[in-house]
Structure 1
């Protein structure tokens, strides 16, 4: 089954940060969405996003 992709606001809420924070992390290339739509909107796989954040914490 393919991963469920969610919008930035939903992903931010799921990880407990403000939407603007997640957008900033994306712009800073700290995290990468699963897909960016032709209109420039990010779609996130929550499991992958959590893995990316874990990797960031482990690196720091």
Structure 2
């Protein structure tokens, strides 16, 4: 998530947007590379699950 986006979320009223404002610290800890790698992991896990469901061997 971009610095600008997290700054905008941090500026929100916590009383009105408690869930969003509580996530700001977590979102700042994840880089775009982390998100990219997690996305790849999900895609590969999905491919593996489909292959196993169809009896494919590794």
TM-score, scaled relative to structure 2: 0.31
Larger-gyration structure (1/2):
2
When you count strand as a share of all residues, which structure comes out higher?
1
TM-score, scaled relative to structure 1: 0.30
Structure with the greater relative contact order (CA < 8 A, sep ≥ 6): 1 or 2?
1
